[in-house]
Amino acid sequence: MMGLLVRLRLYLKLWFTSFYTIVMMLFIPVVGVLLYNSGSYTIEDASSIIYEKAAPIWFIFILQWCFSIDMDSKFYSLVVTYPISRWRFIMERVLFSVLVFVSLLAIVTVSLMPIMGAFAWQSFLFTMPVYIAIAGFAVVGTVMINHSLGGLLAGIIIWVFFVFGATFLGNLNVILLKYGSVYTFVNGETGFFDDINRWILYNRLFYMMIGILLTGLAILQFNRKTT
């Protein structure tokens, strides 16, 4: 436990003393302010842009930064030579990335509440399965390439497909908040398990399972590494 706390303190120190951090922390708030000042977006459109389009790319860069400390310095090559639980190497960095991302996005969400009300938090929670899926792709890319650049490229490629692949994805489309039927579902105006909402539940469950599956596969692959 002490080792985990020491590593967490190191990551936090590196995070808050990095110029990269400043850029990452300002990215979403700036997008939110610009959207609000433009006055040309509905709450549904603005929440979709922030939580479904901008926040995922923010998360990808945070994941890349967290993995770069060890993967890019080849420290992982030393780690895999010791009889340790290698899954912790992956999960610690994923969980730290999630901690940073969720904390920052929660701050952004609080700042958006005067504009969007409770729908800001509802949008945040509704999009969480998509973030889990993106994390899975980024982790797989990192482990396969043995470099954080692999995770960055994998994350960006899948993000582009999610944002511009609505025609191919159909009911598995990621960009949903801008649609009226999804807005009423997220806002609690229709029953959670109503038949008309079942496809939305399947959509979110699909992305959650994809993220968990890919992360599990990445851990299995990492466990097989010998050099």
Tally the domains of the chain.
1
Q: What is the mean pLDDT of residues 101-119?
A: 85
Mean pLDDT of the chain: 82
Say if CB 20 and CB 65 are below 8 A apart: yes
Q: What is the mean pLDDT of residues 67-89?
A: 71
Residue 112, domain extent: 2-224
Q: What is the average pLDDT across 67-73? A: 77
Split at pLDDT 50, 70, 90, the class of 133 is very high
Q: Report pLDDT digits (tens) over 157-203.
A: 999 999 888 778 888 899 999 888 888 888 887 777 778 888 999 99
Report in angstroms the alpha-carbon separations of 172 from 67, 74, 135, 168, 207: 29, 37, 18, 9, 9
Please determine, for residue 36, whether its predicted confidence score (pLDDT) is greater than 80: no
pLDDT at 124: 93
**Better pLDDT: 93 or 132:** 132
Whether the model clears a pTM of 0.95, i.e. scores above it, the answer is: no
